[in-house]
Chains A and B, each alone.
Chain A
Amino acid sequence: MRQIRHRRVGDKKATICIMAERWDDEEQPSSWSDEFRQRFEGRWPIPRQTVLGILGGLLAFAGVVSSAYTVEPEQEAVILRFGRYVSTEPPGLHFKLPFGIDSAIKVRTKVILQEEFGFRTKGTEGTRSAYDENFRQESMTLTGDLNVADVEWILQYQISDPQKYLFQARNVLTNIRDISQSIMRRVVGDRLVSDVLTVGRVEITEEAQRLTQEVLDRYNMGIRIVTIKLQDVNPPEPVKPAFNDVNRAKQEQEQAINQAEEQYNKIIPESEGKAEQTIQDAEGYATSLINRARGDAGRFTAMLQTYRSAPGATRTRLYLEAMEELYGRFKELTLIDPSIKGVLPIFGAPALKESPAPGGHP
């Protein structure tokens, strides 16, 4: 065919030739592939079936790899088919539809996670944790009496429902933090600063946990709060000395009361003993007085009986005996006859002073 054309159209040979060649070129692919096949059929050592087999095998392998997945013990996997939720799988080895038809999102549901407010754990130094306390903005809280307390707390939570956790909110953690802060401020805001700092701690944690859980449930976030615990709760730094002074005042108060009680305990039992002593003394006095009276009376009665037998003589005797004894003990005795008048000047002033009781009449 080529040769015929060449002969008939002499002038236009070149053009036709080009066209023909072009035509030939378009015919080329089939002949090229034939050639290719022939070439390889000759030299390729592996038969065609094997190649297909290998390809198929690779495909199958990829399928298995993309369909098998492992869920770790602390996880659960949420399976999506073309993005739609299908199921939630427990830990273990599982299979899903391959090639991206199913996708598995693993969520750590068993792990208890912790959020810190007002401080951050920096890591551990030796055996104890180091904390960064520089989050005053988070922890400074207004109390119900419009005072300020520095409240630090932690919140521990668990993902209770991975499906809700993944699909309900974009940023669950931010929500947890925002809500916890808001609720804590609300709970603290309903209390007096002194309660917040001292006795109210347990109550505050309980109420905060309950309310935070309520809000999270309302938003269906699939979060279960394990616990909320207050950490350091302090008055603000500049006010601390004043708060400490209140504590000191309490100590002083107790001390003052104790001292007074001590004094009481020291004085009263002693005085009770002394009172007892006074009474005993009085009783002793009474006994002795009566005994003496009885003795005296007995003596007198006895004397009287004897005296009655000879009154005049006895009387004189008793008188003289007494006088004898009495006069015997005078240091100086001056006897003056009553007829001598104006005797006093004799003695002079000093003598007078020495005897203050002159002129006794027995």
Chain B
Amino acid sequence: MTPRINAGMTLAAVGMMLVMASVYRLPEWEQAVITQFGRPVGSAVTAAGLHLKVPFVQRVRRIDKRILNWDGYPNQIPTKDKKYIEVDTTARWRIVDPLLFIQTVQTEDGARRRLDGILDAITRDTISNHNLVEAVRNTNAILDQIKTRAEKLKKGEISPGDDEEITGEIEPVHVGREALSAIIIKRAAVELKQFGIELIDVQLRRIAYESSVEAKVYDRMTSERQRIAQRIRSVGQGERAKIQGKTNRDLLKIQSEAYRKAQSIKGAADAEAIAIYARAVSGDPQFYEFIRTLEAYKKAIPADTRMILSTDNKFLDLLRQK
């Protein structure tokens, strides 16, 4: 009995080893290629779970089946319009043909090197074949915006002081950022297919001016702002002048209208007074003249006047007849 137990235990151990060697587990995020003495056998295993293989002879090469990242080294690329920019790209990729992948690039590191080569070159080509705006802007929405703003300005819905931005020419976009990405993806995907790699996307993560250009860009921004500030100030001065003009206009209008009214009131009064005098005087004009002249003498000739008179006048008649 005792030897039999021992034998059973041994058998169990051996059996266990056999089972362990002929079974492998594949998690959801992996796929496997079975190799026999280094040569791939059958097609790739992609379903997760427990799988069988020939023990000891076959080996399991595990390969990730999730989306993987590629992070490009920031490149300095001149655009078509000769602007030097730094382009930082990232990509997402996936191993869709593990067999081909193992045969052509073997490891993820190997794949990354290929991705580096292919994506860098294609990104460089694509960027330098287009103007800078194509990599910055996606649409021409900005132009529409400027247009509507200009219309609003024309209609007077916004005051010229609020509008600071219409500065320089804004170049229209013909391709756009997304489309540039699409071009890169399309071209790179073809080349990566031969490695069993599916390229999911390429994102232009960062586009920045190169540091030497940056200073110039800042200078331009500064001068642009200065121009805008100047414009705002002069609009302010203009508005002030307008208001001052309006002030003067209103002032003169008010004053002249008052003058006109006053004059016409006075004129009417004068006319009426003349009529009143005329009516009264017409009774005896000579008498009026006589009285009025005497009154005028009294008023017009001041006291303490030094007078030289000829005796030849009516008042002095008696004086003369000596």
Residues of chain A touching chain B, judged by Cβ–Cβ distance below 8 Å, are: 30, 33-34, 80-85, 137-138, 140, 142-148, 166-171, 174-175, 178-179, 181-182, 185-186, 189-195, 215, 219, 221, 235-236, 238-239, 241-243, 245-246, 248-250, 252-257, 259-261, 263-264, 267-268, 271-272, 274-276, 278-279, 281-283, 285-287, 289-290, 292-294, 296-298, 300-301, 303-304, 307-308, 311, 315, 318-320, 322-323, 325-327, 329-338, 354-355, 358-362
Asked whether any CB of chain A lies closer than 8 Å to the CB of B39, the reply is no
Cross-chain contact A326 with B297 (CB below 8 angstroms): yes
For the complex of A and B, the 4 pairs showing the least CB-CB separation, nearest first, are: A253-B236, A286-B269, A275-B258, A282-B262
Residues 298-320 of B, flagged 1 when their CB comes within 8 A of A and 0 if not, give 10011111111111111110011
Asked whether any CB of chain A lies closer than 8 Å to the CB of B147, the reply is no
Residues 82-101 of B, flagged 1 when their CB comes within 8 A of A and 0 if not, give 00000000101000000000
Q: Please give the distance in Å from A78's CB to the nearest CB on chain B.
A: 9
> A246-B229, A271-B254, A333-B309 known; A146 and B49 CB under 8 Å?
no
> A146-B132, A253-B161 known; A182 and B27 CB under 8 Å?
no
Residues from 250 to 269 in B contacting A, C-beta threshold 8 Å = 250-251, 254-255, 257-259, 261-263, 265-266, 268-269
Distance A272 CA – B313 CA, assembled complex (angstroms):
57
Distance A303 CA – B138 CA, assembled complex (angstroms):
104
Distance A238 CA – B217 CA, assembled complex (angstroms):
10
Q: Please give the distance in Å from A250's CB to the nearest CB on chain B.
A: 6
Residues 226-266 of B, flagged 1 when their CB comes within 8 A of A and 0 if not, give 10111011011101111110110011001101110111011
Residues of A within 8 A of B206 (CB): 137-138, 181, 185
Contact with B2, one of A30, A85, A254, A274 (Cβ below 8 angstroms): A30
Measured as residues with beta carbon below 8 angstroms from the partner, the interface class of chain B is: 35 or more
Residues from 140 to 160 in B contacting A, C-beta threshold 8 Å = 141-142, 145-146
Contact with A281, one of B209, B230, B262, B312 (Cβ below 8 angstroms): B262
Cross-chain contact B236 with A254 (CB below 8 angstroms): yes
Residues of B within 8 A of A292 (CB): 273
Q: Please give the distance in Å from A348's CB to the nearest CB on chain B.
A: 13
> A186-B177, A334-B308 known; A250 and B161 CB under 8 Å?
yes
Cross-chain contact A297 with B279 (CB below 8 angstroms): yes
Residues of B within 8 A of A271 (CB): 250-251, 254-255
Distance A207 CA – B93 CA, assembled complex (angstroms):
26
> A142-B209, A318-B291 known; A267 and B247 CB under 8 Å?
yes
Asked whether any CB of chain A lies closer than 8 Å to the CB of B66, the reply is yes
> A242-B221, A289-B269 known; A170 and B307 CB under 8 Å?
no
Distance A327 CA – B312 CA, assembled complex (angstroms):
15
Interface class of chain B by DSSP: helix
Which chain A residue shows the least CB distance to B252? A271
Cross-chain contact B208 with A360 (CB below 8 angstroms): no
Binds A, one of B11-19, B119-127, B280-288: B280-288
Cross-chain contact A83 with B25 (CB below 8 angstroms): yes
Residues of A within 8 A of B239 (CB): 253, 256-257, 260
Residues 48-74 of B, flagged 1 when their CB comes within 8 A of A and 0 if not, give 111000000000000010111101000
Which chain A residue shows the least CB distance to B262? A282
Contact with A359, one of B170, B301, B308 (Cβ below 8 angstroms): B308
Asked whether any CB of chain A lies closer than 8 Å to the CB of B104, the reply is no
Contact with B306, one of A304, A338, A354, A362 (Cβ below 8 angstroms): A354
Cross-chain contact A307 with B287 (CB below 8 angstroms): yes
Residues of A within 8 A of B320 (CB): 337
Distance A318 CA – B286 CA, assembled complex (angstroms):
14
Contact with A145, one of B168, B222, B226, B294 (Cβ below 8 angstroms): B168
Distance A254 CA – B232 CA, assembled complex (angstroms):
10
Distance A290 CA – B268 CA, assembled complex (angstroms):
10
Distance A146 CA – B261 CA, assembled complex (angstroms):
63
Residues of B within 8 A of A80 (CB): 27-28, 48
> A82-B25, A293-B276 known; A362 and B265 CB under 8 Å?
no
Cross-chain contact A253 with B232 (CB below 8 angstroms): yes
Distance A185 CA – B297 CA, assembled complex (angstroms):
100
Asked whether any CB of chain A lies closer than 8 Å to the CB of B165, the reply is yes
